[in-house]
Structure formats: structure tokens, C-alpha cells
Structure 1
Amino acid sequence: MKTVKRWAGAIAGVLLFATCARAALPPAELFYKDADILEAVLSPSGRLLALTTSKGMPRVGMVVIDLAPAGGRLSTTRVTYADVADVRWVNDEQLVFSVTDLVDGSGTVDDGPGLFTVKADGSHFRQLVNRSWAADGGVSDPHSWRLSWNHRLVAVPPSQPGKVNEEVLLEEFGTDESDTSVSLMWLNVVKTTTRLVDDRQLPGGASAWMTDSLGQPRVAFTYDKSRISAYWLQPGSQKWSRLYESGLFDQPFQVEAIDGNGTLFVSRPQGPRGDAVLSRYDAKRGAPEDKPLVSTPGFDFQGFLVTGDAGKTLGVRVTVDGETTAWFDPAMKAFQDRVDTEFPNHVNRISCRRCGAPDMVALVRSYSDQDPGALYLFQAKPPEGQQNWQFLQAVRPDIAPAQMATLELQRVKARDGLELPVWITRPPGAKGPLPAVVLVHGGPWVRGTQWRWDADAQFLASRGYVVIEPEFRGSTGYGYGLYRAGFKQWGQAMQDDVADALLWAQQQGIASDKACIAGASYGGYSTLMGLVKHPKLYRCGVAWMAVTDMDLYVNGSWSVFDDIGESARKYSIPDLVSDATKDAAMIAANSPVKQAARIKAPVLLAFGEDDRRVPLTHGKRMRDALREAGNDPVWITYAGEGHGFGNVKNRIDFAERMAAFLAKHLQP
């Protein structure tokens, strides 16, 4: 396949990437530094490409590339005090984006993402939404016009024939916990004018919204204590009709998407495992259609509609073991087959303009479990002298895919017979049992991983370990039955699942009898409880941002600020985790702080000092309890970090410390 060096050179000139010299063990920086390409988005016409990168810049910035034959870099946009994120094209000349802070860390709670706009040529840069509640939101100067911090971007509608879009949809939420309502407004990013969305027919205040593929509000959700209601605005109607009212955990279906015609797509559990399937909603019957539109046996439907330039539904992008796209459009289905032939054994995600048309332009992001990926441009009608396919840029050019580990999904039986998905990452060429790291995902009510390159698993595998990642009960994505089986099972059956995954790997000759357990957030909790409940299985534990004090997590405290709302502690945590009064004995028996004396293995604890999901108090109490029990842990904290280590230096430092700790106790 030929490549056009001009485009690759133009991007490389911006990125200034260098080849990493490989030592016997690849350095942690190779895995944990920012990727050379973070986001890449085609403009509506397909003439321009916006991408975000930190290469050659002190912060993550946005670069716009003109893909025309005489093009090249068109502009570079930087925000001196923050990093560019969530780039969207409003039209072919105007972009909007938010920001985050990756240098000071992830714990800057007073600063939100804000909203900024700039033209593709770099001109007319302005802030539309403040980042901080303390900032001046005055509107006297049109060049400094901005909305207050409690506004968030919801949708960017596509331009329609004969009308260039200039508006984005924002939500405005309350500034205190008692006000959960969320209202909507349209913001013209060129004229900096606003207009409210009329929701007067909606009973009660909406707490969440969904739009159709044209960016129009179509579904609203209201919450009343432990009840949730969903409302739908049908095409041509001025009145919101109720789809359902239910408890928080027994909704008849989940609203997934609404297309440009107003068709409602919902998912619902089906079959013995309760795998969620995608169906159209039958408005006349007031229920989902009986025949599923998309069914993924062994997995819940997790995905979204893929729409064309005018909001037409072209297919559905879904995640099974890895990501795939079910195209309804015959031309796009044929093109996907062509792409998969061009880049075999990879997931090939297609983003297109004039999709399936004779002059289609498509951006392909091709990746695998060993390959972080690369970007390719396809032009059905390329300029004279150019090929259809053009290589643009590798996402992480320093990574050698052949030297990366492989990832596979297994299905194993827990001790009570429940089927558990378990992910296994093995170093290339690994034979026989290896020392193991059981890596427990956070959440816990999320899916842990999918078939793609992952920094944590790859880094651990590069140190000679087999990495075992169980999708224990309570995890989502594998059927309602697995999710529901995790209710009130913290430290109990959920913990047994983690142990059973390791025992299975040892029985299969994949893992040796040398193993440590590790994880963040809930995964950190599970790490500590694994050392409590199954001390013979693990030689050490690494827990970061870990829930350690169940009383503090379930009840909260006036003296410890966290971001778990009062309503969650009243109406969801009692069902999901435990009831503070009725389950007091269960809480005590499964609280790592109260069971610290039972932990005999070495422990590494790491926390962000500004974490508001799991405050530093959790870490300090666990550290002190272990010290009192005579088991002084390795203790690490990072200033400025919240619930996740955003600063690259901190990510690398923690990885190196974790690797040294594991090597000491596993000796791979």
C-alpha cells in the first residue's frame, strides 16, 4: 500500500515523535506517556482533520490539518493552563472543545471542562463557558462573553441541506445537591446568543436528557427518591409521553438511542442469562418490538448508532469481545469488508463523510490487542496523483506490536456454577505457568475490559507476568444475571469470583503458584479483601484509590467530603452494597479497615491527595490499621491527583514503584 509522505510528514512535523530506545525491559514511560494521537475527527466535508496531541507542546493541543493536495497544517490551538479535549466540529469552519488538566493532576475539583470555540484556521478563539464557579461571568464585553460553569455540552447537530449549523445544545444543572433538575438551551457559538428548549409539557424537572441523531431533545428522565421515569417526545408531537415509571433496578428496558426520524431504540434482557438485545420501540403497543434488531449472545448490547451526515442511521457499533460494526447500509457493509481485508486481525473503526457515496471520505482507526493503532485516510475519489489509501499516523509509534502481549477471553465456572468471563494477557511466546497478577477492575458495576491494547496489562506482562482480569459478578456487559448476582456481595461471592479466576488459571497451567492481587477503586477494595479472605493465594497486594472503610463509604461523614450524593446513599447503595442499619454486621465483616489484622501479606497503598470519590481518609485509616497490626505498608500519595492519576510523571512513577514491589515478592 502506497503512502503519501507529505501528509505523514506534515503530521510528524507537528508531533516530533522519536524512536524509543528499548532496554531489556521497556521503560514504564513507553506505556504511560500520552499517546501521540489522542482524538482525530474529520470535518463535515471531509476536507479537514482535527487531532489532539501533546507532542512538541507543553500541553495537549489541537492541530487542524488540511487534507487537500496543497494543504498541510492549517492551525494549532493551545490553552496555556489546560489540555484540549472532546473536540467537535460545529460546521466546516468552526470547532468547539472542552479542556482538562493533566499537569496539575486529576483532582482539580473547582474547575470544570468549560467550553471553547475556534475557527479551523485558528482565528476567533473564545471561551463560551467558564471553568470555575469563582470566575467572572459578565457579558458586557462580547469578546469575553461566557456562560457560568454549570453548563455542559450535550450535542452538536449536523448541518442540514441549505443551512449551516452554528448551534450546540447545552445542559444547565443546579449548583447544589438538592437541585437535581437539568434544563437545556441552544447556544449559537458564532453570535454567542442563547435560546431555551421548551419543556413545559414535561412533568417534573428532568435530571437527564437524550437527543436524537440530529441533536434534538427526545427523551428525558426524572427521579423521585427510588423511582425513575422516562418520557419521550415523539416526532410531530408537542407533548411528552411517559415511556415507563419503575424502581431504579427494575426498568422494563433501557433507552439506547433515537435516530433522525425519531425512531426509538431500546435494549432489554432476553434469554436465560439476561443478555440485553437491541430492539425498536413500538409506539402503538407501548413496548419494544418482539424481534431484536441486534443480538450479541454471551454479551449485553453495548453500543450506539452510526449515522450519516444528515442523521440517517447507517449501522450500529457494538462491543462484544471487541468492537465491531453491524452496518445496515449495503455500501458501508461492503466497505467494512474491504477495510478488514486491507487490515486483517484488527478492529477497524470507520468514521466517514458522505458515507457510502461515490465521493466518500473515511477515517479508519485500526488497532488490536497488541497494536495501539494507526490512522488511515480513504478517499473514494482521491486528488490526481494520489492513492485511495493514505497512512496518516501511528497512535503510539514507539510501541512495537510484535513485542506486545496477547489478550484472550475465557469463560470459567465459579464455585457456585455461575459463568464468569475472564481476560488473560500473556507475554509473547509465553510457555508454561508464569507468576500472575490478578488485576481487579473498578466500578464495580462496569465492564472491565475489551479486546484492545491496554497500558496496565501490557506493562505488567512486559515484566514477565500473566495478567488475569476477572469479570466478577456485579460486572456489566455479560447479562443481567451476572450483574444482579453481585448485589450485596462486596467481599463475599464477588471476592470468591476473583479467587476462582486465579484458581482456574493455575489448574490450566497458565499461572504458577506465585501470585499477587492488584486494583484501583473497587479493585483496590477487592485487593485488600482478597488478602483477608484468601491469604494462601496471594503473596502481596497493590491497592490504589481503594475503598477501605465500608462504614465511611456506606454512611458518609460530615467531616469527610466525597462526591457520593445523599440520594445515592439513600436509594441505591443500600441495594447494591449494603444497608447501613440492617447489614451492619456484614459491613463490619467485609470492611478492610476492620479486618486489617488478618492481612499478613505485604501491601502497597497509593492515593490521590485530592480524591473526592475515595477520599484520602480511606487510605490513611487503612495505613494506620495495618501499622497497628504490625504490617507497615508501602505508602504513596500524589498531590493534586483525584480518582485517577492524570499527570504523566505520576503515572510513570506509580508504575515503576508497583513493578519494583511486585518483583520483590514474585521474583519473575
Structure 2
Amino acid sequence: MNLIWTLLIAFSLLLASNARGAEEVPLQRFAELPRFKDPMISPNGKRIAVTLTLDGRPLMVVQKLYTETDRTKEDPVPFSIGEFFFSWYDWANDERLIVSIRSNVKSRGSLWSLSRLVTASRKGKSMKVLPMTTNLRGYYRQHATVVDWLEHDPDHILAALDNSPTLWAAPEVDLVNVNTGKSRRVVKNKKGIHNWIVDSRGVVRVGVKRPTNRGLRETVYYRETEEAQWEVLQRIDHYHHDRLMPIRFDKQDPNILLVSSVNLAKDENTVAKIFRYDLTAREVVGPFVDTRRKKVLKLLKNALPDVKVDIVSHDRAKKTYIVRTYSDVTPPDYYRLDLNRNALEFLASERPELVGMQFAPMTRITYTARDGLEIPAYLTLPVGREEQNLPLVVYPHGGPWSRDEWGWDNYVQFLANRGYAVLQPQFRGSTGFGIEHQEAGYGQWGHAIQDDITDGVKWVIDRGVADPDRICIIGASFGGYAAAMGVAKTPNLYRCAVSINGVLNLKRMIDDGRDRVFSSVPRAIVNDRKDSEDASPYHLAKRIKAPVLLIAGEKDTVVPAIHSRKMYKRLKKLKKPVEYIELEDGEHWHTNEAHELIVFTALERFLATHIGGASSVQARAEQQ
């Protein structure tokens, strides 16, 4: 393992000093999982826990951070958890970590994603799964979570391990010894609270009861002290713009709760997203500003002006920071900022094999939808190609209540590297563009959302950038739904479609979610069931003309593979051109490099065959 680490860092540094021009990048380079990701620094700033990739799978490793005054060799320590996945990890103290591990389990005919908490020595020894107990119905809590890290008590954390014996999905709070794994109950859950918030003294003082599968009322509970009774701070509809979203307590003032809300964030006189709520006065008393973080970011942006900068992690003293940098044409890099020495040092690249290669800029554009709504989007054009009559890949994001971010994306850059223009419409319903833009997408699956995507394609065609006879639509999850819906609703617009883990039977999705614990919130903003067949690719399959490629993970717990299996059978029965790839043991996320290679290989072949790109001649030659 030490050799692997050494070669990784050496190779990334070597590549960083040998920039190359534009060239066709080997497909496997885009399919590879990140070689260095999610570094978390220990409280004393001496080590990091980080995710590497070994044999095509993510591997967590603890690695020493060397300094000018401490060059004592310490071998990296890999953590083995068998067939489980790492969800996240962080340091409980300088000697022990808490690791969230995840597995996909079949129960009562359905696949479920379950996560557990593990306490482990930084040396990879004495790993203990924190024990859990069932409720009175015999069920364990689906996801064990950390409620608070108790910064002033390095031997303990507060964790939600078990649900209330009688209430569904209502966690109680345990004080857990991170060294032994032993715990004791400190908060019982009699209110049906789903999320807890702890003040800087380690006292659980706020609880949020979210809507379940009946109604949309959300309640925030509060207590002044550990002995006080719970009282209602706010009870309000989940989608009301005045709903307070508690984040955490102010670390300096236990009477101040940091919150957000739609209306607070809409105030034209402030750019703040987080606000200070006085629990005594029961009112917002002003925006919250993290002055130290602001100063550090300013320092970093001055030192690294050509890239975006994120703070990933910092030590307890806030003197050593782990920083992530990126741009649209630069894969992420990681640095250590040491304020004690005023030093900024390169650690590693997320994708060292791609450092120095030329990639395509991601340009922000805006177009007008047919009803007058302004739609933001990103357009990426291939380097070195004339910007007209290009083959176009339309790439809608998942969610749909999410968005694409400006930055380096391996799928987008792969497509551009193969000669395709790439359009990423931020259709109504996308987040981050104002609440009006988001709410305009409620109940609009396959309707106005799909029209926004169509209008974006026409915008690119009208400007001569895209060849109208060479357009394909590709997406994953909701994006996979939009891809299939595109060739069903506008069958003459696209020459092909690729749906990866896509929702393809909208009625089935609505029915499957009806009995989920927190179903009322998403149910309120998705389409009505009675009209769902009008916006369901499965039910509109007869309209499809273009070739369709379906890809699904066998163990996808978010969108079950049965969506793709049934769609494939229906299209075959209708004698429509369709291919289907099911990834054995595959899931919804990008966690298996072998699966990624299968997907990228299939995309390259399928696109080259149907709309042509830089690799089209080669692909056709291989088919002959």
C-alpha cells in the first residue's frame, strides 16, 4: 500500500509539470474513479483520512501529513470493510475515527440501503460496529447517524442509533464512547422527532419533526435546558416560505440558533443564506457571517485566482486547512494550507492521469422557454472543432430538484473530447436559481420541465451550433427519465436516447413511494397519479422511434432496475430499436470502476453509431 501511495503522489506531481495539448483521451481515464478524494484532517492536523482507489473500488486510508520539522516515516493505513461501501468518515479524536458504512440489503421483496457506524483506531485496528437494537416491531433503524461530535469531549459523540420503540423512524439519542463502543440513552423520543440539534455545551435542545406520509405540517421543538420541557418553536407547512430550517447553534452564544428560510434568503438587501435566530426574542436578529472562514477563503482565492476553492476540512485550531480547487477545464486538486507557516502545499490530484490535458470550457448560457421563463444552462463545445453543425448530446441532470454545477465533469468532458457539443439545461424545478424557478417545476414531470429541455435544444439548433439530424439525449436517474421522455414526447427531435438508472414508469414510482415514511413531501410536488401515464415513457413507448440504450444497476435502491427491465421488454415487444445493459451488483452511485468502464464504452459505441463524433469512423469500422 505504501508503494501505491508513493507512486500516486509522484505520478500526479510528474504530470502536473508536463502539460499536454488537446488530444483524444483514452476512454478508461474518464471511467476511472477518483484517485484521491474526500480528505478529512485529524483534530491535531497531523494526519488525513482519505479515499483512494484500489482495484477499481474506493478504499479509505489514513496517511500522515509530513512537515518540514516532522519527516518521521509512517506507513499509510488502509481500512478494509469487505463488501460494504464507505458513505463518509471523520475524526472523533486524534486516535479514532467514526466511519459510516453502507450496504444494499433485500428485505420483504425490496432493496434497501442500510448504513451503520463503526469506530476504528487510526491504525486500522479495534474496529467496532456501534451496537443497535430493534423497535417493538422488530426493525432496526435504517441509517445510524452522528448527532454531534462533542468537540470538548474527545472520547464521546452523540449518535442516533435506535428508533423509539413505538414510533417509526423517530431516533433517540445516545452518548457513545468512541473507544469502547458502549453507549447510554440520553434523550428519549416521545414527540416523533426526526432530526436533533445540539448546542455548544453538548445539550440536545432542538428537534425537527418532519412530515411523514400524512400531511405537510412540520414542527420545530425547542427546550431551554436539558431538564426543561419541549415546546413548539414553529409549526408550519413544509413548503411555506417562512418555514425555519435550523442548521446549528452559534458556537459563541447558546441562545442563538442558526437558521435559513426561503423568505429570509430572498431578501434583496442581503446575500446571506444563514441567519441568527434569538431563541429568547423568538425572532431573526441578523445574518450570520463566518468571519474566519471568509478571511481564509479570501487568502486562498488571492493565491489561486484561476480556480474555484472549497474548504474541505480543518484542524481543531483552525490553523491547518485541506482545500479543494477546480475549474471547468481542470480536474480537482487538493492542497494543505498551513497558517502557522503561511504555506500552501499541493497534496494530490483527484485524477492525476488527466493533469495537463486540454479540456473544453463550460459556458453559462440563458434561453427563453415557450412560456417566457428564463432557463439557465451550460453549453460545452469540443476543443478544436468548428462551432457549427456539431453533433449534440443533451444531458439533463437528476433530481429533478437539484442542479448542475460549473466545474469539471468526467461525463461532460468525455463527450466533448469525442467531438460532441453538450447541453445541460437547468430546467424549471432545478434548485439554486431562486424559489420561483424551483416551484415552477412542481407537478411538471414530462410537461413544462420536458418542454424546457426541448426549447434548449431548439435554441442551440437555431444558432447553428447543433446539427438537427445528430442529436441524442442522455441522462441518469431523473435525467434518464427525461432522456426516455424526450424520445417519447418529441420523437422527431432526437436520433437516440440513453437512460441510466432512469425512472421509466412514472405511475409505478408514485405507487412505490406511497407507503414510504416521508412520502408526503415528494408526493406533493410530483405529478398526480391519475395523469401520470401522460408523462410516463413506459406508457408512451409506442411513440418512440429512435434507438434507446437502457442501463441499470442490479442493486439500485433509488430507482429499482425493474423500471429498465420492463421498459426493455415493452420496447422489444413493440419491435423498437433498444439495447439493455444490467450491471451485476450495480447501484445508483458511481462506486465501481468496472461498471463505469462498461457505461463509458457503451456510450462511445452507441453515440458514434447513431449521431457520430470524433470516434464515429473507428466505431463503425469495429462493427464491420
TM-score normalised to structure 2 length: 0.84
Please tell me whether the aligned partners of residues 326 and 407 of structure 2 are also in contact (alpha carbons under 8 angstroms).
yes
Equivalent position to 1:343, from 296, 304, 313: 304
Aligned twin of 2:91: 89
Cα distance in structure 2, aligned partners of 1:277 and 1:334: 18
- With over 3 angstroms needed to count, the CA separation of the structure-2 counterparts of 1:454 and 1:73, relative to structure 1, is farther
Name the aligned partner's letter for residue 332 of structure 2.
Answer: G
Cα distance in structure 1, aligned partners of 2:223 and 2:6: 48
Cα distance in structure 1, aligned partners of 2:329 and 2:320: 27
Mean Cα displacement is larger for which, 244-253 or 598-607? 244-253
Mean Cα displacement is larger for which, 186-195 or 165-174? 165-174
Cα distance in structure 1, aligned partners of 2:110 and 2:63: 28
Aligned twin of 2:507: 551
- With over 3 angstroms needed to count, the CA separation of the structure-2 counterparts of 1:339 and 1:567, relative to structure 1, is closer
Equivalent position to 1:458, from 413, 421, 427: 413
Name the aligned partner's letter for residue 613 of structure 1.
Answer: V
- Aligned-pair CA distance for 1:57: 9.0
- Which sections of structure 1, spanning at least 5 residues, go unmatched? 1-7, 138-146, 295-313, 316-327, 557-562
Please tell me whether the aligned partners of residues 421 and 471 of structure 1 are also in contact (alpha carbons under 8 angstroms).
yes
- With over 3 angstroms needed to count, the CA separation of the structure-2 counterparts of 1:175 and 1:658, relative to structure 1, is farther
Equivalenced residue count is 586
Please tell me whether the aligned partners of residues 242 and 263 of structure 2 are also in contact (alpha carbons under 8 angstroms).
no
Please tell me whether the aligned partners of residues 227 and 245 of structure 1 are also in contact (alpha carbons under 8 angstroms).
no
- With over 3 angstroms needed to count, the CA separation of the structure-2 counterparts of 1:415 and 1:14, relative to structure 1, is closer
**1:283 partnered with 2:284:** no
Aligned twin of 1:528: 484
Cα distance in structure 2, aligned partners of 1:214 and 1:396: 41
Aligned twin of 2:526: 577
- Aligned-pair CA distance for 1:221: 2.0
Aligned twin of 2:191: 204
Please tell me whether the aligned partners of residues 378 and 390 of structure 1 are also in contact (alpha carbons under 8 angstroms).
yes
- With over 3 angstroms needed to count, the CA separation of the structure-2 counterparts of 1:572 and 1:46, relative to structure 1, is closer
- Aligned-pair CA distance for 1:239: 3.3
- Aligned-pair CA distance for 1:505: 2.2
Aligned twin of 1:79: 80
- With over 3 angstroms needed to count, the CA separation of the structure-2 counterparts of 1:355 and 1:166, relative to structure 1, is closer
Name the aligned partner's letter for residue 266 of structure 1.
Answer: V
- Aligned-pair CA distance for 1:438: 0.8
Equivalent position to 1:539, from 495, 500, 516: 495
Equivalent position to 1:381, from 335, 340, 344: 340
SS at the partner of 2:114?
coil
Cα distance in structure 2, aligned partners of 1:462 and 1:101: 35
Cα distance in structure 2, aligned partners of 1:108 and 1:406: 42
Mean Cα displacement is larger for which, 465-474 or 644-653? 644-653
Cα distance in structure 1, aligned partners of 2:395 and 2:499: 10
SS at the partner of 1:114?
strand
Aligned twin of 1:595: 540
SS at the partner of 1:209?
strand
Summarize deviations over 1:158-181 as a string: whole Å, max 9, x none: 532xxx511122213549998232
Aligned twin of 1:560: none
- Aligned-pair CA distance for 1:599: 0.7
- Aligned-pair CA distance for 1:340: 1.6
Cα distance in structure 2, aligned partners of 1:149 and 1:272: 34
Please tell me whether the aligned partners of residues 255 and 267 of structure 1 are also in contact (alpha carbons under 8 angstroms).
yes
Please tell me whether the aligned partners of residues 108 and 640 of structure 1 are also in contact (alpha carbons under 8 angstroms).
no
Cα distance in structure 2, aligned partners of 1:667 and 1:158: 57
Cα distance in structure 2, aligned partners of 1:507 and 1:177: 60
SS at the partner of 2:378?
strand
Mean Cα displacement is larger for which, 11-20 or 613-622? 11-20
Spell out the pairing of 1:349-428 with structure 2 (5 A cutoff). 349-350=310-311, 351-353=313-315, 360-382=319-341, 388-428=343-383
Cα distance in structure 2, aligned partners of 1:149 and 1:170: 12
Cα distance in structure 2, aligned partners of 1:437 and 1:370: 18
SS at the partner of 1:649?
helix
Mean Cα displacement is larger for which, 171-180 or 56-65? 171-180
Cα distance in structure 1, aligned partners of 2:119 and 2:100: 9
**1:36 partnered with 2:35:** yes
Please tell me whether the aligned partners of residues 495 and 526 of structure 1 are also in contact (alpha carbons under 8 angstroms).
yes
Summarize deviations over 1:198-227 as a string: whole Å, max 9, x none: 356xx6211233445676534322236213
Name the aligned partner's letter for residue 174 of structure 2.
Answer: M
Please tell me whether the aligned partners of residues 64 and 74 of structure 2 are also in contact (alpha carbons under 8 angstroms).
yes
Spell out the pairing of 1:323-338 with structure 2 (5 A cutoff). 328-329=291-292, 332-338=293-299
Spell out the pairing of 1:120-519 with structure 2 (5 A cutoff). 120-129=122-131, 150=142, 152-160=144-152, 164-174=153-163, 179-199=168-188, 204-212=191-199, 216-222=203-209, 223=211, 225-233=214-222, 236=225, 238-250=228-240, 252-258=242-248, 259-260=250-251, 261-262=253-254, 263-270=256-263, 277-284=273-280, 286-289=282-285, 293=287, 315=290, 328-329=291-292, 332-350=293-311, 351-353=313-315, 360-382=319-341, 388-433=343-388, 434-446=390-402, 448-513=403-468, 514-519=470-475
Cα distance in structure 2, aligned partners of 1:109 and 1:652: 25
Paired-residue identity, %: 28
- Aligned-pair CA distance for 1:36: 1.4
Please tell me whether the aligned partners of residues 57 and 591 of structure 2 are also in contact (alpha carbons under 8 angstroms).
no
Mean Cα displacement is larger for which, 530-539 or 219-228? 219-228
- Aligned-pair CA distance for 1:254: 3.8
Please tell me whether the aligned partners of residues 254 and 267 of structure 1 are also in contact (alpha carbons under 8 angstroms).
yes
Name the aligned partner's letter for residue 362 of structure 1.
Answer: Y
Equivalent position to 2:100, from 98, 101, 105: 98
SS at the partner of 1:519?
strand
- With over 3 angstroms needed to count, the CA separation of the structure-2 counterparts of 1:476 and 1:214, relative to structure 1, is farther
- With over 3 angstroms needed to count, the CA separation of the structure-2 counterparts of 1:533 and 1:99, relative to structure 1, is same
Cα distance in structure 2, aligned partners of 1:345 and 1:235: 47
Aligned twin of 1:311: none
Cα distance in structure 1, aligned partners of 2:404 and 2:451: 20
Aligned twin of 2:583: 638
Aligned twin of 2:603: 658
- With over 3 angstroms needed to count, the CA separation of the structure-2 counterparts of 1:645 and 1:277, relative to structure 1, is closer
Aligned twin of 2:619: none
Aligned twin of 1:62: 61
Cα distance in structure 2, aligned partners of 1:651 and 1:361: 35
**1:617 partnered with 2:562:** yes
Summarize deviations over 1:281-308 as a string: whole Å, max 9, x none: 243553435x6x27xxxxxxxxxxxxxx
- Aligned-pair CA distance for 1:598: 0.7
SS at the partner of 2:207?
strand
Cα distance in structure 2, aligned partners of 1:411 and 1:483: 16
- Aligned-pair CA distance for 1:605: 0.9
Cα distance in structure 2, aligned partners of 1:335 and 1:14: 28
Please tell me whether the aligned partners of residues 228 and 248 of structure 1 are also in contact (alpha carbons under 8 angstroms).
yes
Cα distance in structure 1, aligned partners of 2:309 and 2:522: 39
- With over 3 angstroms needed to count, the CA separation of the structure-2 counterparts of 1:256 and 1:665, relative to structure 1, is farther
Name the aligned partner's letter for residue 372 of structure 1.
Answer: P
SS at the partner of 1:555?
helix
TM-score normalised to structure 1 length: 0.79
- With over 3 angstroms needed to count, the CA separation of the structure-2 counterparts of 1:395 and 1:537, relative to structure 1, is same
- Which sections of structure 2, spanning at least 5 residues, go unmatched? 614-624
